[in-house]
Amino acid sequence: MSIQQVGIVGAGQMGNGIAHVFALAGFDVKMTDISADALTAAVALIDRNMTRQADKGLISQDDKSDAMKRITTTQTLIELGPSDLIIEAATERETIKTAIFEDLVPHLTPDTILTSNTSSISITRLAARTDRPEKFMGFHFMNPVPIMQLVELIRGIATDEATFKACHGVVDKLGKTASTSEDFPAFIVNRILMPMINEAIYTLYEGVGSVKSIDTSLKLGANHPMGPLELADFIGLDTCLAIMNVLHDGLADTKYRPCPLLTKYVEAGWLGRKSKRGFYDYRGDTPVPTR
């Protein structure tokens, strides 16, 4: 399968990062979002991030200029229909993702590969809502996409070998490394990472340590670059909660029960960096622990 035209659904944190790396790797990218402001902001952010890369000597100015010319945007989802590969990077809610795929299907070419950047939802179940489960895969990038080297490739029960090889070839062309996961809740990275974050929140909830002491302990005691609560804020507490719910529902094991404090923060709208408050308050010059 020859892949050149890539459609990306969603212009948020993940979508713009995915567009960034695909454009730099020579793919023609069309990005869609329901919000015109989100598309404008995404293109501006990609431009700033590529400028930063050029200033560091990681790419040339010509690389940046050529890549930016390869990115187009649209608010009309069905305009992605002629793409060779479509990567859905919308909100981590299955109903939203399913609706997107159902709207896209009538407008696709017979050879279009559909993928989802979901961090936890069943690929087999999403694929079953389309007309091409054999051409459907999980294509899970890590955040921030331009920096993180791993891409999880997740086969659904019906994914064929040609689709897997085509997607693996794309990861190679991006200069990233693929890991292959079976289609179980949260796959590999989040199956391990999210329970650790959830346990850190329980440690805070039970009064074992403060936000600062928990993060300092993991950074200095386990050599983690970020503490687990700082990382949760970076990921988004709503995303963390969604993944824990998928693990808890999908595996039916009480060890995956989301911490009530995580639920409470999400109910308050304290979602981390993107809402300016989470386990830290980001409204000032320096983040301040909220507990």
Active site residues: 119, 140, 152, 190
Residue 206 CB neighbour total at 10 angstroms: 10
Q: Which residue in 113, 151, 147 sits closest to 3, CA to CA? A: 113
Name the burial class of residue 104, with classes exposed (0-12), middle (13-18) and buried (19+) by CB atoms within 10 angstroms of its CB: buried
Residue 44 Cα distances to 6, 11, 37, 68, angstroms: 19, 11, 11, 10
Helix 189-205 to helix 260-267 angle, to the nearest 10 degrees?
90
Token pair for 49: 């991030």
**Helical spans, DSSP H, in 133-227:** 161-174, 189-205, 211-221
Report the first-to-last Cα separation within the chain, whole angstroms. Answer: 52
Amino acid at 203: T
CB 159 within 8 A of CB 138: no
